[in-house]
Amino acid sequence: MNSQNTIKIASIVGERPNFIKLAPVSSAIEEHNKNSNKQIKEVIIHTAQHYDDNISKIFFKELNIPCLKLRKNTERPVTITEGINTIVGNDTDKIIQEANKIIDGRYKQGKTPKFWDGKAAQRMVKILSERL
């Protein structure tokens, strides 16, 4: 597929309800790409607005959705050092630069941070039972 037959788009979302609203669009793009030599390459970028550890970390891990944090810091630095998140603040040039990396497939490859496997309860019970 050559670049003349491909258009790249970035869908930038901030909250989980936005993903629900985006789902039909992403599905339509996927269906279009199956049936056409003219391809649409969609990249979903999450801004980490209203990020919730209990729901979001597994959701983003499974979907491998890059996250550009549109603020100067994060309460979860491990998502930057080990994950696929990047702090861009409100620097327009940096936001565009990092978004282009995502669209072009040059974005950093992270890994799931240690203990982000959804098995904290099992580890707690194991530790408690060892103390009996």
How would residue 130 be classed by pLDDT, with cut points 50, 70 and 90? very high
The residue assigned the tokens 């409100």 is 90
- As a residue count, the chain comes to 132
Check if the beta carbon of residue 88 is closer than 8 Å to that of residue 69: yes
Instruction: Identify whether the C-beta of residue 76 lies closer than 8 Å to the C-beta of residue 53.
Output: yes
How does pLDDT run across 89-98, given as a tens digit for each residue?
889 999 889 8
Can you give the pLDDT at residue 53?
60
For the chain, which domains are there?
3-130 (3.40.50)
Task: Name the E strands within 14-121.
Answer: 39-46, 67-69, 85-87
- Residue 61, pLDDT score: 60
- How much of the chain exceeds pLDDT 90, in percent? 18
Kindly provide the b/e burial profile for residues 40-74, where b requires at least 16 CB atoms within 10 angstroms of the residue's own CB. eebbbbbbbeebeeeebbeebbeeebbbbbbeeee
Residues 61-88 have pLDDT tens digits of: 666 677 788 888 887 788 788 877 888 8
Residue-level pLDDT at 68: 82
Alpha-carbon distances, residue 9 vs 12, 29, 84, 99, 100 (angstroms): 10, 11, 19, 10, 10
